[in-house]
Amino acid sequence: MHYEYQPQQTVRAQHGSTLRCKTWEAEAALRMLENNLDPAVSLVYDELIVYGGAGRAARNWKEYQTIVKTLTNLEPDETMLVQSGKAVGVLRTWPHAPRVLIANSNLVPAWSTQEHFDELDKLGLMMYGQMTAGSWIYIATQGILQGTYETFAAVADRHFGGTLAGTVTVTAGLGGMSGAQPLAVTMNDGVCLIIEPIDERVRQKVREGYLDEQARDLAHALELCEQYRQARTGWSIGLTGNAATVLPELLKRGYKVDIVTDQTSAHDLMDYLPEGDITAVLHLRADNPTEFRKQALASIMQHCQAIIDLQAAGAVALDYGNNLRGQAEKGGLKVRDDNGQFLYPGFVPAYIRPLFCEGKGPFRWAALSGDPQDILRIDRALLETFPDDKMLARWIEKAQAKVPFIGLPARVCWLGYGEREKFGLVINDLVARGEVSAPIVIGRDHLDCGSVASPNRETEGMLDGSDAVADWPLLNALANCASGADWVSLHNGGGVGIGNSTHSGMVIVATGTPEKAERLKRVLTTDPGMGIFRHADAGYDIAQRVAEERGVQIPGQA
C-alpha cells in the first residue's frame, strides 16, 4: 500500500468554489476521488478500499499521490490515462474530450480468473475497481438506494398488494452499499432483518440512519420483527451473526419469512466471512487464506441452500448480492433447474428489466460545493421538471426525510431516455444562474440499462440468450467518449467478481457554460440510448416501442 505516501491529513473532498486544478472537470475528478476515500464514505480507508469487499479508488497511496499531482497539472486539452488505479500517461487531446480515461481489472478473457488477478494484484500490477470505487463516482449507500427501493416496490406490487406493510424481509451483509436494503424495505413500509458478522458495521449503519435498531440476539430480533409486523410499521433490525447460521435456524424454527435476499460480498471468497467466532475467522483469513476460502465456500453453499429452502417454504426469494449463487454453484450446489435457469431469480430479470428497456437507470449527481442546499435546490427543480411523476415525488420526499448526506452531498434517482438530457440541462442552467454555488457532477452507477454485461446478475436470462455478450459496455464507453463525457471508465468484475462481468461508467460535469450544455445533450442522450439499443436488439417489445416513440435510430428497425 506504500503507507509512507499516505497523506498526513485525512483525505476528504475539498469544498467551495476555489480551484486547485486548471479546469472544473479535472477538479471534479479530484474531489470525487477524495470523496471516495473520505473515511465517512470508504470501507477501509488505510487500504483505499471504498466498498464491495476490495474495491479501491487507487492502487496504493503512492499512485494516489501521482494521480492527484497529475490532475492538478492537467491542461484543458489533456487527458490522463489510468490503468488499474495508476496514472500511466497524459495525452494531448481536445477541450471537449474526456479529462480522464480509466480501465480497471481488465484481463484477456482466458486469463480473467480471480486467481490470476490475485497474482497480479500481489505484484502491484492491478487493482480491483468494483464499479464506482475505481471510477470515482461512489456516493455511499445512497448510490443504489433508489434502485433497491424500486425493486422492493415492484416486489410489493407483484406479491403483496402494493405494500410491504405486515411483511418481514430477511437479508444479509452490511458493507459499504448494504444499508440500502433495510432502508429501502422500510421506505416500502416493511420490516427488515439484516444479518452481519462484524458488529461494528451494524452499529455504523444505525449511526448513519440506514438501520433503525440493533438486536441483542436472534430471539430479540424475531421479537422485534413480530412487533413491527403486527403494527404494519416499517422498521429495520440489524443482527450480528452469520447468514449461513441464522437462515437455517429460521427454517428449523419454522419462522415465517415473506421475502429473502442478500447483499453479501461473495464475488471473491476472501471477502465472504464464513461461520465461526469472528476474531478467529479474521485471523484465519490473514494466516491461512486457502483454508479461509474453503470455509467461506462451505458457508456460501449453506447460505444459498437456506435461501432456496426458505423459498420452498413460501418466501419470495431474489438474488441481490455479489454472486452468491454463482459461487455456490462452483462449490457443487444445485442452483439451477433442468432448463438452466436459477432456482431463484436475480432482481434485474425479475423486477427491473422493463425499466432498463425504457433507458431508465440510476442517475446521480453530487454538489462540488459541499453545500447540502445545492442538492435541495436541485431536488426542487427535479420535481418542477417532472411534476406528474408520482413515484419520483415520493422518492424525493422519502430521501429528504431519511437519507443522510455522507461526504459530498449527493442525490440519486432513476431517469430514462429523454429525461436525463432534459434534467441535465436544468442542472447546468442552475449552475449558470448561480442558484447552486459550484458546478455539479453528474454520473451513474455502472449497473445501468446499457453499460453492463453480467450473466449472473444484470444480464441474467436475456430474451435472446445474449447474457454474456460484452460488446455493449465496450460500445457504451466508446460512445460516451465520442459524445463528450468528462471521464469514462471500463471495468471487469464489479458486483460479481473477476471474469464474471464487464461494465462501463460515465461522468460529466455541469459547469453552466453553453459549450457544456451541448455536451450534456449528447452524453445524456447517448448513454441511456445504449440501453434501448441493447434491449431492442435482444427482442424486447418495450425497448422497440420506446425506440419508435422517441426517435431512437436503430438501423434495420422499421
Can you say which residues are annotated as belonging to the binding site? 52-53, 130, 196, 201, 242-243, 263-267, 272-273, 320, 495
- Sorted by sequence, the CB contacts under 8 Å of residue 381 that are 6+ apart come out as 423, 426, 427, 430
304 noted as active-site residue: no
User: Which among 35, 27, 36, 25 is positioned nearest to 127, based on CA atoms?
Assistant: 36
Distance from first CA to last CA of the chain, Å, rounded? 55
Work out the burial of residue 323: count CB atoms within 10 Å of its CB; fewer than 13 is exposed, 13-18 middle, 19 or more buried.
buried
Q: 3-class SS at 209?
A: coil
User: In angstroms, rounded to a whole number, what is the distance separating the alpha carbons of residues 489 and 131?
Assistant: 9
Binding residues for NAD(+): 52-53, 130, 196, 201, 242-243, 263-267, 272-273, 320, 495
- Sorted by sequence, the CB contacts under 8 Å of residue 398 that are 6+ apart come out as 149, 187
H-helix or E-strand containing 177?
none
Per the CB < 8 A criterion, the answer to whether 261 and 319 are in contact is yes
Residue 10: CB atoms within 10 A of its CB come to 11
Per the CB < 8 A criterion, the answer to whether 464 and 541 are in contact is no
- Sorted by sequence, the CB contacts under 8 Å of residue 356 that are 6+ apart come out as 348, 448, 449, 450, 531, 535
Residue 256: CB atoms within 10 A of its CB come to 15
H-helix or E-strand containing 1?
none
Residue from 21, 192, 413, 449 carrying the catalytic annotation: 413
Angle at 244 between CA 326 and CA 279, to 5 degrees: 110
Enter the DSSP assignment of 5.
Answer: G
- Sorted by sequence, the CB contacts under 8 Å of residue 369 that are 6+ apart come out as 15, 16, 17, 436, 437, 438
In the numeric block, the cell 438474488 is attached to 319
All cell numbers assigned to 548: 419508435
- Sorted by sequence, the CB contacts under 8 Å of residue 506 that are 6+ apart come out as 443, 444, 451, 476, 477, 480, 485, 487, 488, 489, 523, 527
- Sorted by sequence, the CB contacts under 8 Å of residue 203 that are 6+ apart come out as 214
Long-range contacts from 546-550, C-beta under 8 angstroms, 24+ separation: 546/357, 546/358, 546/359, 546/417, 550/417, 550/418
Q: Which residues are catalytic?
A: 413
